[in-house]
Amino acid sequence: MNRRVVALGVLLLTGLLYGAYRSWWAGPVAEARADLVAYRERLEKAGQEIRNGRQARKALDELRSRSLGGDEETVDHRVRTQLNRLLESLEVVEATVTTSEPRTVETPARSIMGRAQASLRKRRDEPDFATLEFKIGGVAPLGRVLSLLTELRGQTWPCRIEDVRLDPVANGARLRFAVRCTTMFLLGPDAGEPEPSNVSSEALAQFADFALSNPFALPPAPAAVVQQSTPRPSRPSTPLFPYDRWRLTGIAELAGTMESWWVRPNGKTVVLREGAGIGKALIAGIEPEAVVLQRADQQLRVEIGSAIPR
């Protein structure tokens, strides 16, 4: 009987001791260990967020150092300055650089944060970045236009080419171009103006063959074949009438009619009365010592022994 009581007492005492152990030691220790694990997880997560924040800050600082400035006026001025120098170096004629009104872009977190705490409202309402659109125009040969596009693509500051328009000029020997681009910048402190890029000769040489082929140039017009016109046979000139070889040798009156005697160029004698013609001259009258001729609007008087004047 005593043994049973002792055994029962031992079991009861053991149970009491185990319950006291769990209540006073094992439970609190387990909870403390769980809290420690959760704390370590939160600490690791916070550390990772801090490292991500540092990387993001470093990337933003690098992007800021590559942009043309931290405010609208500075970026606009530097865009115009660098592009005008570039166009001048490429000897572009009728060169123009125009800029549009800058546009700010809100942060995507604005829609996520919603009603943010007072400490976060300033960051929520800050614009994420700003963009500036600019246009470049001018007239240049195809090779220089390709060099301009290559230089724009190789700039150290952000430059996105939106569209390009080319119109042939002078039968395609030159092109009138219009290029629309966009740059972005972070509002805030100015990290200084980035140095203009120097595109490598290899980047420019890749378009050399295309520039030489110049698909915009019109083929030269075929040389016009000038057909030599066969000279028309000239009409034989009408020989002038030999008035000066007609000589008046005498005048006679027969049966009341006056007659004139002439020696023709062939030496033969001919008798002509008033109204007869010698070439284009008409005998208008015969006097005792002379003959009056009417040639066109000219009246001639030929005496005996004289020749008709030309």
Show the beta-strand stretches assigned E in 53-190. 93-99, 103-106, 127-140, 160-169, 174-185
The string of DSSP codes covering 27-72 is HHHHHHHHHHHHHHHHHHHHHHHHHHHHHHHHHHHHHHHHSS-SSH
> In a 3-state reduction of DSSP, which class is residue 87?
helix
Q: CA-CA distance, 213 to 197, in Å (whole number)?
A: 27
Q: Does any domain span residue 221?
A: no
Q: Does any domain span residue 132?
A: yes
Domain endpoint, select from 28, 47, 65: 65
176 with 83, same domain?
Answer: yes
Q: Does any domain span residue 224?
A: no
Q: What is the pLDDT along the chain (310 residues), one digit of tens a residue?
A: 566 666 666 666 676 666 665 666 666 767 777 777 887 888 888 788 788 778 877 877 777 888 888 889 999 999 999 999 999 999 999 999 999 999 988 876 666 665 656 666 666 667 788 999 999 999 999 889 999 998 898 888 999 999 999 988 888 888 999 999 999 998 888 878 887 777 666 776 777 777 777 777 766 666 665 566 566 665 655 678 888 888 887 787 777 788 888 888 887 878 888 888 888 888 999 998 899 998 888 888 998 888 888 7
81 with 209, same domain?
Answer: yes
Structural domain span for residue 60: 1-65
Flag whether the pTM goes above 0.75.
no
What kind and span of H or E run contains 242?
none
Q: Does any domain span residue 290?
A: yes
CATH of the domain at 133: 3.30.70.60
Domains of the chain: total: 3
Q: CA-CA distance, 39 to 34, in Å (whole number)?
A: 9
CATH of the domain at 298: 2.30.30.830
Q: Does any domain span residue 113?
A: yes
77 with 203, same domain?
Answer: yes
Pair 292, 299: CB distance under 8 Å: yes
Could you tell me the sign of the dihedral formed by the alpha carbons of 152, 154, 156, 159, in that order? positive
Q: Does any domain span residue 232?
A: no
Q: Does any domain span residue 103?
A: yes
Residue type, 291: V
